[in-house]
């Protein structure tokens, strides 16, 4: 028999998965080109040429140990190169031992949470949030404490964070560019978070989940978390930057200013092993070493974002242009986001209710979708706009 906690987890199900199943049903009934599925966050661009070339070159000759185990935190030369990049971005002295190669950003988060959490330690999570954060915290005996962001700006509210701090608070998870809200935390916001945590008089680690850090639009860049937040750990991956989500390659980088740095460096390697990851995928550590600066064509995501912004605005929605990431997070024209999303399904538009991200009254729409689907969806959005008297 499976565990009671997993029984509960399965019964709850994820709203994203429910939309996925709805999509299968609709496509069967109406045909694939008649369904406008904006529910999943699966990057649809292929990896950049440099990445494909690195894969071909690395696998062309004799393997020579290419597929062997290595030390738990990863290949030293890969860690050193990443440390160099993080040092350049932050202005800090970051050495290879700060870096542990991981199974995606998700693996990085699980490794660091296992490293720092004792049973019942509290972890502050800012809503709207990536729903798996709840699982990651609970995986390691932690207690998620949800803190609401500002419903107008979707940015963190510092006073709300301060109110949520207790003597058991061990960490705060931040995510910028944000899934689902698309906001980017400015230098000022990061500095305010740092100050608020310092004022608490206790050490609170900031686990900064950054898989979208290269997906910033309108010429923006994302500030360095290591630079602005003292006890910070960056968790990131090449899932979005290089469109490699299935290859599960990422890393964590511990700030040299983190309390207990030396012990942490040893513990993360150990946790990589204890969680059963052992090490990050060997081939893809080498792939990123050889193509470290490669990125997908971010301009393509930006032009889709712009087109969808125009469509939603024309349909009368109260919409904020996402500064980064792959999602719009839009206020529903009615209070009940489940009811609104169900009525979108009638128009064959699939989006995800904000309640799935701990933020009711909104819906999430992913713009990592083909241009043709975006164009085909125009009439359906206009129909929704008319149905709710937005136009």
Ligand X SMILES: Cc1ncc(COP(=O)(O)O)c(C=O)c1O
Q: How far is the CB of 235 from ligand X (least distance, A)?
A: 8
67 burial via Cβ count (<10 Å: 0-12, 13-18, 19+): exposed
Answer for the pair 239, 43: CB distance below 8 angstroms, yes or no.
yes
Site string for ligand X, 313-352 (x = CB under 6 A): ----------------------------------------
Residue 209 in the binding site for ligand X (CB under 6 A): yes
- Applying the rule CB under 6 A, the residues between 90 and 129 that interact with ligand X are 104-106
Q: How far is the CB of 248 from ligand X (least distance, A)?
A: 7
> DSSP letter string over 242-299?
SS-GGG--EEEEE-TTSTTHHHHHHHHHHHHHHTT--SS-HHHHHHHHHSTT----HH
Residue 237 in the binding site for ligand X (CB under 6 A): yes
C-beta closer to ligand X: residue 209 or 337:
209
C-beta closer to ligand X: residue 126 or 311:
126
Q: Please tell me whether residue 127 adopts helix, strand or coil conformation.
A: strand
Region of 336 on the Ramachandran plot (φ > 0 left; ψ -120 to 50 alpha; else beta): beta
Site string for ligand X, 164-193 (x = CB under 6 A): -----------x---x--------------
Residue 37 in the binding site for ligand X (CB under 6 A): no
Q: Which of 34, 2, 41 is nearest to 19 (CA)?
A: 41
Q: How far is the CB of 250 from ligand X (least distance, A)?
A: 5
Site string for ligand X, 126-165 (x = CB under 6 A): ----x-----------------------------------
Answer for the pair 164, 130: CB distance below 8 angstroms, yes or no.
no
Answer for the pair 216, 183: CB distance below 8 angstroms, yes or no.
no
User: Which positions lie near ligand X, rule CB under 6 A?
Assistant: 41, 104-106, 130, 175, 179, 209, 211, 237, 239, 245, 250
């Amino acid at each position: 028999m499976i565990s009671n906690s997993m029984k509960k987890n399965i019964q709850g199900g994820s709203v994203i998965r429910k939309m996925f199943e709805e999509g299968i049903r609709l496509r069967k009934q109406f045909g694939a080109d008649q369904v406008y599925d904006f529910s999943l966050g699966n990057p649809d661009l292929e990896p950049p040429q440099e990445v494909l070339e690195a894969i071909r070159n690395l696998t062309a000759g004799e393997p020579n140990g290419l597929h062997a185990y290595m030390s738990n935190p990863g290949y030293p030369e890969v860690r050193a190169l990443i440390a160099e990049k993080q040092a350049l971005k932050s202005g800090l002295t970051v050495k290879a031992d700060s870096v542990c190669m991981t199974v995606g950003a998700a693996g990085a988060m699980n490794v660091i949470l296992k490293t720092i959490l004792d049973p019942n330690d509290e972890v502050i999570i800012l809503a709207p949030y990536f729903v798996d954060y709840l699982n990651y915290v609970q995986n390691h005996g932690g207690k998620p404490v949800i803190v609401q962001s500002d419903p107008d700006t979707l940015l963190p509210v510092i006073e709300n964070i301060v109110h949520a701090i207790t003597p058991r608070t061990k960490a705060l998870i931040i995510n910028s560019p944000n899934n689902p809200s698309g906001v980017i935390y400015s230098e000022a916001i990061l500095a305010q978070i740092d100050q608020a945590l310092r004022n608490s008089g206790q050490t609170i680690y900031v686990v900064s989940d950054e898989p979208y850090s290269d997906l910033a639009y309108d010429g923006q860049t994302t500030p360095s978390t290591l630079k602005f937040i003292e006890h910070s750990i960056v968790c990131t991956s090449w899932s979005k930057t290089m469109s490699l989500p299935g290859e599960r390659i990422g890393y964590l980088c511990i700030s040299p200013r983190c309390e207990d740095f030396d012990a942490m460096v040893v513990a993360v390697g150990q946790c990589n092993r204890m969680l059963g990851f052992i090490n990050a995928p060997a081939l893809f550590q080498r792939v990123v070493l050889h193509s470290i600066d490669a990125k997908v064509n971010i301009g393509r995501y930006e032009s889709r974002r712009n087109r969808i912004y125009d469509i939603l605005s024309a349909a009368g929605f109260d919409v904020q242009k996402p500064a980064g990431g792959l999602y719009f997070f839009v206020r529903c024209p009615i209070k009940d986001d489940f009811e609104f999303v169900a009525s979108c399904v009638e128009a064959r538009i699939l989006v995800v209710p904000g309640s799935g991200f701990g933020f009711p009254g909104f819906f999430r729409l992913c713009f990592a979708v083909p241009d043709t689907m975006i164009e085909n969806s125009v009439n359906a959005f206009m129909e929704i706009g008319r149905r709710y008297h937005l136009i």
